[in-house]
Amino acid sequence: MIIFRYLSREVLINMMAVTFVLLIIIMSGRFIKYLAEAAAGELSANVLYGLILLRIPGFLELLLPLGLFIGILLAYGRLYLENEITVLRACGMSHHRLLLITLGPTVAVALVVAFMSLWATPWGSQRVEAILLEQEQVTEFEALVPGRFHETEDGRRVTYAEGLEEERTRLAQVFLAGRSGKPDDPRLGVVMAESGRQSVDPETGVRYLVLENGHRYEGVPGQADYRRVDFGEYGVKIERTPVLERVSKVETLPTGRLLGSEEIDHQAQLHWRLSLPVLCLVVSVLAVPLSRVNPRQGRFARLLPSILIYLLYISILTSVRSALEKGDLEQVAALWWVHIGFGLLAINLHFFALRWAQLWWWCWGLLPRWTREE
């Protein structure tokens, strides 16, 4: 039990450290992307942190298996380097028992990944899609950023405000330019006002941007024939489409709905979610033999080749998933054949690691001398 706690602690500490670093890197990249969209007025700054938090389960379901894989490599690599594994073997611990001990923390991590993939990630993805959809449907007034020009999606109107006052309920020094009539109408309307506010018609629910104390100029650019109108209040209708409550993306569907569906993309998504916990089990069995290093080689001797094997594993899985969702493959069992293939590779490395090492050094000895010199 003492050895189990010691080895499990080493694996989990290294796993959490690796996962934390990778999570910070990915979250930083995603946060910068959202921050750029907020600076452009496409997102509200109030939803940035919510979006990042809701994305975390989706990040963790993929980072935890990688963190577990690298954690085992680093933890056991250090034990081999400091000859602690040699001492344990001298005390009667075999490689088979080491693998069984490793499966203890692996099962715990697999359960966490199962919770993420089957429930937390779909729920978070649905909330993220709802927030993004709502942000796409926000009014022009709500999307304004002080000191920046904001263009509508159809490109027919540009709005600028010097500042926002009274908790973003009033605009100061407003500039508005847009086409006055049909898309082919050459006339351009320009409005400048001291202030502006949003008004809602209580009967129809239609929203208006009400500009106060300003001037409106209308004419064809480059021609002196234009019209000027002074106004105390000038209303501009704000178009807003109702927010859709349902999100159609497969990633956001609850697992319960996928269970009863016969559509191939739904089945592919379901088997992908079920395969992520299995991924944890396979990579742990794969990492134990790959972590065996000679003290003379150093702790990181096999780290790069091992990561390449993991990347190959993930790449094949994601390629099969994409092919299933596109309809290029019709058998969802193809995902499980990938797990079976790498599982057999892991078992082969575990039982025949010495044979593979001898083959490696034999092939290495066949190379010309100049290729092996430093």
Mean pLDDT for each 10-residue chunk of the chain (374 residues)?
A: 85 94 91 77 75 90 94 88 79 81 92 94 87 65 69 72 71 79 73 82 74 85 80 75 51 84 84 93 91 71 83 92 80 88 88 65 57 45
187, 198, 261, 289 from 184: Cα distances, Å: 9, 29, 48, 70
DSSP 173: E
pTM of the model: 0.72
The reply to whether 282 and 318 lie within a common domain is yes
The reply to whether 132 and 273 lie within a common domain is yes
The reply to whether 9 and 128 lie within a common domain is yes
> What confidence score (pLDDT) does residue 363 get?
62
The reply to whether 30 and 170 lie within a common domain is no
Tokens found for residue 317: 């899985």
Strands 188-200 and 226-238, by their bridges, are unpaired
> What confidence score (pLDDT) does residue 247 get?
44
Structural domain count, the chain: 2
Q: What is the DSSP code string of 219-280?
A: E-TT-S-EEEEEEEEEEEEE--PPPPS----GGGS-HHHHHT---HHHHHHHHHHHHHHHHH
Residue 373 maps to a domain: no
Tokens found for residue 88: 């344990």
Residue 374 maps to a domain: no
The reply to whether 118 and 252 lie within a common domain is yes
Using alpha carbons, select from 7, 17, 2 the residue that is nearest to residue 103: 7
Residue 58 maps to a domain: yes
* Domain boundary residue, one of 238, 257, 284: 238
Residue 314's contacts (CB-CB under 8 Å, 6 or more residues apart) are none
Tokens found for residue 66: 């990688």
Alpha helices in the chain (DSSP H): 2-39, 48-81, 84-90, 95-115, 121-136, 140-143, 255-259, 264-290, 303-326, 333-351, 353-366, 369-372
The reply to whether 18 and 125 lie within a common domain is yes
The range of the structural domain enclosing residue 325 comes to 2-136+247-367
Residue 371's contacts (CB-CB under 8 Å, 6 or more residues apart) are none
> What confidence score (pLDDT) does residue 371 get?
45
The reply to whether 254 and 156 lie within a common domain is no
> What confidence score (pLDDT) does residue 322 get?
86
* Domain boundary residue, one of 204, 238, 272: 238
Using alpha carbons, select from 315, 333, 325 the residue that is nearest to residue 274: 333
